[in-house]
Structure 1
Amino acid sequence: MYQQVLDPVAGSLAWSALVAAVPLLLLFVLLGVFKVTAWLASLVSLAVSLAVAVAVYGMPVGQALLAGTEGAAFGFFPILWIVINAIWVYQMTVATGHFDVLRRSFASVSDDQRIQAIIIAFSFGALLEALAGFGTPVAVTSVMLMALGFTPLKAAALSLTANTAPVAFGAMATPIITLGKVTGLSPDTLGAMIGRQTPLLAVFVPLVLVLIVDGRRGIREAWPVAAVCGVVFAIAQYVTSNFVSVPLADVVASLLSAAAIVGMVRLRPPARALVPSLASGGVGEADLDPPDSPDSRADSRADIAKAYAPYGIVIAVFVVCQIGAVKTLLDAATVVFGWPGLHVAAANGHPLSLTAFTLNLLTTPGTQMLVAGVLTMIVLRLSVPRALRAFGATLHQLRWAIVTVMAVLALAFVMNVSGQTITLGTWMAGAGAAFALLSPILGWLGTAVTGSDTSANSLFGALQVTAAHQAGLSELLMAASNSSGGVLGKMISPQNLAIAAAAVGLNGREGDIFRRVVVWSLVFLAAMCAISALQASAVLSWMVP
């Protein structure tokens, strides 16, 4: 039995936190400075985290390795299981030609790339996040943007940047439900509080997408559409999460924002459209030739209906699986067991819950996405051999992303189980009243490491509540700030960088993508820290339920 130690370096929490941060700092330096491929950077950082766990924290070698294997297994199931099946659905639409139909349908809304970036990366991406999450929106929307003439690097950057505000309510509010379990707070109340934070960011995300596509000129010419989309999404997310249903917040917000974009384009389109030939020569992209511009072929209503059918099927499957009786029936196949051979106690002597592995075979979104894929195969009249070839193409496309995700989750579990992550969190929690300003950073850190707001909430949710109690702050606010801050770490997570790179064919160039999005991650994080601090003060305390 290994018992966690929070201050193994000279009995100092500060020095211990500095050492505990080494694997994370190394990971991002390798990615952003030395341009090392994500899978190699992840493996090197994993090796360093194992060394810190054994040499500094005194964790037995066998226990440290077992923690890594549990993390790798969790990386494959449920996270990669979701992404693989979601990309398989996409590959089948490509094989049958219906992806091109869907692409032309989106392009028919507007041939302006700034508008296309908003409706696909933000609104459609939010719908995918609501249904599946875990990297699916980044993988699908980046490919759609490439098909519309965006360069691979820009398509990846847009998809990652857009995948922020919807994340806390993603996968039918799985991060919030998890946060409720680990904190003992009501998921509905937590969802309401988060619904008073992330919408404030959602207002600005479409404007940032326009800035990425066309710079200041794009803001001058396309700001009305971007502003209306952001405001409609924000209002819908707030109203739905506070007064209707937390799991449906992103579904409603994404659909209403898409409708708002269509309405604005018809009522007040930008005076000048930005078409692919004008957008493909951005700085640093000269070596990345965009695909051919989308053609103007006319599609029948039946073809358009089939093109949208896979996503309608996904929505239907997920909604049915959320029905109480169905969910209970599917949950009968869930197995929870302690990871074999891994025996760890927290610093207080209690058994560590992280060693319990949940194998939710039927309730995981990945299996539900697999069912949707089988139904899609039938609706699109795809033969079994062609469907299997599409699945094989998916595995080949994601091969390096699979290595990266499993290595990153192994790194996360080694840090979590050994106590490295809790050392960092506990050190930050010692800031007293100033913790309200730092609270979102914990969530950001957790998501940046694990690639999942759900994992970040599981990791730091209880710590946020404890720190809030000690500092005399609102426990609800600090717990919510963990999740709201976490959504901003998703775009720089090596897991999602690897998925984006694999989707657009830039394997090995994750560092280039990282440098494109890290500034926006930090800008949004600073804004969320300010929101959290103001809500903890008399200025915005009225926003806390």
Structure 2
Amino acid sequence: MYVQELEPVAGSLGLSALVATLPLVIVLVLLGAVRMKAHLAGLTGLLAAVLVAWLAYGMPLGQTLSGATHGAVFGLFPIMWIVVNALWVYRMTVRTRHFDILRRSFGRLSDDPRIQALVVAFCFGALLEALAGFGAPVAISAVMLVALGFEPVRAAVIALVANTAPVAFGAMGTPVVTLAQVTELPLDSVASVVGRQTPLLALVVPLVLVWLVDGRRGLRETWVPALACGTAFAVAQFAASNYVSAQLADIGAALLGAAALVAVPHARRPASQPVRAAVLTGARSEDLDEDDPRREVVRAYLPYVLIVAVFSVAQIPVVKDWLAGATRTLDWPFLDVVGPGGDPVGANVFTWPVVSTGGTLVLIAGVCSAAVLGVHARVAVKEWAATVRELRFAILTVTSVLALAYVMNLSGQAATIGHFVAAAGAGLAFLSPVLGWFGVAVTGSDTSANALFGALQVNAARQSGLSPELLAAANSSGGVLGKMISPQNLTIAVAAVGLAGQEGDLLRKVLPWSLGLLLVMCLIVVGQSTFVLEWMLP
């Protein structure tokens, strides 16, 4: 049995915290300053965490390596299992050219570029974030906007800023699932609080987007459809995350936001020629004028309908209980860890939700989608294998970061840092979103930032008397605002629109929005930690 210690280095909490932060500092420096590839930085940080756990904290090497393996397995299943299957569905729509049909369908919804930006970057981008995440929404939305005639830099900025509100529930809820796992808090509790923070961003972001597209005139002329879209998105995200399923939060929000946008008569009015001339300064794709058979348009939308349907059926109590019956729980081998108080930690046990996990449900929807789209079984398998190959470095990054997080949590490193950070007292509520923002800005992933800092936030909250669920959620909600300035997302954006090497120019354009919205989120969390907005929490 390994008993966690809070002050293993010279009996000093400060020195122990300094040593405990070394793995995190190494990862952040390698990513931010050295510009090392994320998977290599993650593996280096993991090695540092293992050495600190073994040499400084006295955790037996066998248990340390077992804990790292546990984290890596969790990174594979269910985390990357969700991402692989979601991206597989998208790849099949591209292969059958139904994605092009979908793109043309969006272009025909409105000829107003300000409305098109909301449909493509905010609504469809949120749907892509829900299904795949990890840079796909920015790349695909930016390319679609350029095809519609947007100037490349403007298209990239719009895609980056739009990729905020849906991130915490992206990739079928992967960030919040990870957050719940590493903090040992109930998923429903964490998702519920996140669902009372990020919807407030959804109210603002569409207004920001129409400003980015057409400045003051765009805001003056299209604030009604922008606000309707944001409100519908926020309501759906709140309702799904609190009362239905965290995995469905972004899907429902994206669809309801798009429906509300199309329902506003103002959104269907033709744009004036001065607006189109001022905004659409790029080359418009020639295939936008092609007519697609209604049957093919329906087939293009069906994969997303099937995903919603499968997840909805899985939430029916009888079906949910039946699926949960296949879940297997086992004691993780060579791992026996108790906290400073003598209570066993949750990571001693491995839970394997064989069927009920989001990745398996997406796989089921993907098989149905392959049949609907007319994809031969052999081709579908080939596309799945190609998806795994495409994500191989992302898989290595996520598994190494989760392994690092598990080692830090199991050895007591996260608890030490949490006790030390708790000295910030009430100021911790303001700093909590900043920590998540910084983590995502460096790693490019809300999932990774939650894995790195989630347990730390919870430990600090408990020591300072704040709500653990509030600060855990704040880590994720603040983190979504760091995604637009992360080097990985910036690189994806400039590559997608053909502006390689201009990441710095793009960063200067989006940084003010990232910081401004982060300040808003910090004030929301501070308010929720006091009587001012405490009524918002469950």
The one of 426, 434, 443 aligned to 2:427: 434
What is the aligned partner in structure 1 of residue 476 from structure 2?
486
The 8 Å contact of residues 23 and 45 in structure 2, kept in 1 or not, is answered as: yes
For 1:214 and 1:34, the matched residues in 2 are separated by 38
Deviation track 1:187-246 (CA, whole Å, cap 9, x = no partner) reads 47x76655443332222223444566678887677655544432343345456767x656
1-structure distance, mates of 2:160, 2:45: 23
Paired with 1:275 and 1:3, the residues of 2 have a C-alpha distance of 65
**Counterpart for residue 73 of structure 2:** 73
Does the Cα contact within 8 Å between 1:24 and 1:45 map onto a contact in 2? yes
Q: Does the aligned pair in 2 maintain the 1:164–1:490 contact within 8 Å?
A: yes
Q: Contact 2:311 / 2:361 at 8 angstroms: preserved in 1?
A: yes
TM-score by length of 2: 0.80
**Alignment-derived partner of residue 46 in structure 2:** 46
Select between 103-112 and 264-273 the one with higher mean Cα deviation: 264-273
Correspondence 1:396-545 to 2 at 5 A: 396-441=389-434, 451-452=446-447, 459=455, 463=459, 466-467=462-463, 471=465, 475=467, 479-490=469-480, 523-544=516-537
Change (3 A) 1:381 1:143: same
Q: Secondary structure at the match of 1:371?
A: helix
SS of 1:488's equivalent?
Answer: helix
1:81-109: CA deviation from partner (whole Å, max 9, x where unpaired): 11111111111111111111011111222
TM-score w.r.t. length of structure 1: 0.79
Contact 2:4 2:412 in 1 (8 A): yes
Which amino acid in the other structure matches residue 16 of structure 1? S
Q: CA deviation at 1:315?
A: 0.9
Q: Which SS does the other structure have where 2:10 is aligned? A: coil
Aligned residues: 521
- Larger displacement relative to structure 2 (192-201 or 371-380): 192-201
2-structure distance, mates of 1:403, 1:393: 16
Inter-CA distance 145–511: structure 2 relative to 1 (3 Å threshold): closer
Q: How does 1:263-412 map to 2 (within 5 A)?
A: 263=264, 264-267=266-269, 269=271, 272-273=275-276, 278=281, 295-412=288-405
SS at match of 2:85: helix
Give the counterpart letter for 1:323 in structure 2: I
Contact 1:404 1:498 in 2 (8 A): no
| Cα pair 1:67 1:413 within 8 Å, conserved | yes
| Separation (CA, whole Å) in 2 of partners of 1:390 and 1:252 | 27
Task: Report the CA distance between 1:182 and its aligned residue.
Answer: 7.1
Any stretches of 5+ residues in structure 2 without a counterpart? none
Aligned-pair CA distance for 1:350: 1.8
In 1, Cα distance between equivalents of 2:403 and 2:296:
44
Change (3 A) 1:172 1:56: closer
The letter of the residue matching 1:165 is A
Aligned mates of 2:494, 2:334 — CA distance in 1: 40
Deviation at 1:342, TM superposition (A): 2.4
Change in CA separation of 1:519 and 1:81 when aligned onto 2, cut-off 3 Å: farther
- What amino acid sits opposite 1:66 in the alignment? S
Deviation at 1:15, TM superposition (A): 3.3
Could you report, residue by residue, the CA deviation over 1:258-280 in whole angstroms, capped at 9, with x for unpaired residues?
Answer: 12333342148575137997369
Which residue matches 2:199? 199
CA pair 7-27 structure 1, distance change in 2 beyond 3 A = same
C-alpha separation in 1, matches of 2:31 and 2:182: 34
Please state how far the C-alpha of 1:381 moved relative to its aligned partner: 1.4
| Structure 1 residues 59-95: Cα deviation after superposition (integer angstroms, max 9, x where no partner) | 2333222222222211111111111111111111111
How much does 1:524 deviate?
3.5
Aligned counterparts of 2:92 and 2:234: Cα–Cα separation in 1: 33
Q: CA deviation at 1:310?
A: 0.7
- Specify the code of the residue in structure 1 equivalent to 2:124: F
CA contact (8 A) 2:145 2:155 kept: no
1:249 CA drift (Å): 5.3
1:100 partnered with 2:100: yes
User: Given that residues 213 and 279 in structure 2 are in contact (C-alpha distance below 8 angstroms), is that contact kept between their aligned partners in structure 1?
Assistant: no
1:9 aligns with 2:12: no
Decide whether the 8 Å contact of 2:101 with 2:296 is kept in 1: yes
**What SS does the aligned partner of 1:337 have?**
strand
Structure 1 residues 96, 237: CA separation in 2 closer, same or farther (over 3 Å shift)?
closer
Corresponding residue number in structure 2 for 1:233: 233
Q: Which residue of 2 aligns with 1:146?
A: 143
Aligned-partner Cα distance in 1 for 2:257–2:161: 17
Shift of 1:491: 6.3
Structure-2 separation of matches of 1:24 and 1:153? 33
What is the DSSP-based 3-state SS (H/G/I as helix, E as strand, rest coil) of the residue aligned with 1:80? helix
Code of the aligned partner of 1:92: M
Letter aligned with residue 273 of structure 1? R
Deviation of 1:369 after TM superposition, in Å, equals 0.9
Instruction: Output the CA distance in 1 between the equivalents of 2:29 and 2:220.
Output: 36
| Distance apart, 1:378 and its partner CA | 0.8
1:91-170 to structure 2, matched below 5 A, reads 91-110=91-110, 115-127=115-127, 135-136=132-133, 138-139=135-136, 142-149=139-146, 161-167=161-167
2-side partners of 1:510 and 1:538: how far apart?
48
**Is contact 1:89–1:376 with CA below 8 Å preserved after alignment?**
yes
- Post-superposition offset of 1:458: 7.1
